[in-house]
A and B are shown apart, each in its own frame.
Chain A
Amino acid sequence: NAGVMQNPRHLVRRRGQEARLRCSPMKGHSHVYWYRQLPEEGLKFMVYLQKENIIDESGMPKERFSAEFPKEGPSILRIQQVVRGDSAAYFCASSPGTLGQEQFFGPGTRLTVL
């Protein structure tokens, strides 16, 4: 059973471009979480999704950021018009959503905005 997969592992964008980060949860997991880790800082929750639904987006910046978890395919975290302050490691985690299991994290996507 493959773990949580994220791609790309490294992404470089120029200011004003769009960044799309993908997360494939573990097989059988229907809950996905996105976290951001700014350089030299701790992990911050961004958004929690179940299939086709956003459950909690209290950690998402109000503008330029969006997330989805479609019925088919990976979860996508989309950042429009990136700025230098968006440079960070973005981690995705998944859980089965039954009986309250722990979260399993992917290796992260490191976004660099030039």
Chain B
Amino acid sequence: DAKTTQPTSMDCAEGRAANLPCNHSTISGNEYVYWYRQIHSQGPQYIIHGLKNNETNEMASLIITEDRKSSTLILPHATLRDTAVYYCIASMNRDDKIIFGKGTRLHILP
């Protein structure tokens, strides 16, 4: 799995869009980018994944650069319940184990 780099922490005002960056400069062509989050003490929650194209679902949008070396997770209207640690993972096989890094601790400010 390719190594990913994320900021340690970020703040975002409630109601604003939260943009979480992730660098994965060594990603290979067949590796997907996944995002999970862990709200305090709960089990991790899958958010979104993508390969080349931008993706959107009911939770978030994923923007992947054309060279695939970085991506951004966008929470369009952050709420206090979005306060969590967000993990960006680059992996070839979604059936394989997830190697979690340290993630980004996102604080949503009222």
Categorize the interface residue count of chain B.
20 to 34
A95 to B38, CA, bound (A): 18
Contacts of B93 in A (CB 8 A): 100
A43 in contact with B100 (CB, 8 Å): yes
Q: How many residues of A contact B (CB 8 A)?
A: 26
A31 to B43, CA, bound (A): 17
Count CB-based A-B contacts (< 8 Å). Answer: 56
Task: Name the CB-closest residue of A to B100.
Answer: A43
Task: Name the CB-closest residue of B to A91.
Answer: B43
Contacts of A48 in B (CB 8 A): 96-97
Does B66 make an interface contact (CB < 8 A)? Answer: no
Max chain A C-beta neighbours (<10 A), residue from B43, B94, B96, B102: B43
B46 in contact with A107 (CB, 8 Å): no
Tell me which residues from 3 to 39 in chain A have a Cβ below 8 Å from any Cβ of chain B. 4, 31, 33, 35
B97 in contact with A97 (CB, 8 Å): no
A95 in contact with B42 (CB, 8 Å): no
Task: Name the CB-closest residue of A to B93.
Answer: A100
B106 to chain A, nearest CB (A): 15
Does A81 make an interface contact (CB < 8 A)? Answer: no
A108 in contact with B42 (CB, 8 Å): yes
- Write out, one digit per residue, whether chain A residues 91-113 have a CB within 8 A of any chain B CB (1) or not (0): 10101010011111111100000
3 smallest beta-carbon distances between A and B, as pairs: A105-B43, A100-B94, A45-B97
Known contacts A48-B97, A91-B43; can you find 17 more A-B pairs with CB under 8 A?
A: A31-B95, A35-B100, A43-B100, A45-B97, A45-B100, A56-B96, A56-B97, A95-B95, A97-B95, A100-B94, A103-B46, A103-B94, A103-B98, A104-B46, A105-B45, A107-B42, A108-B43
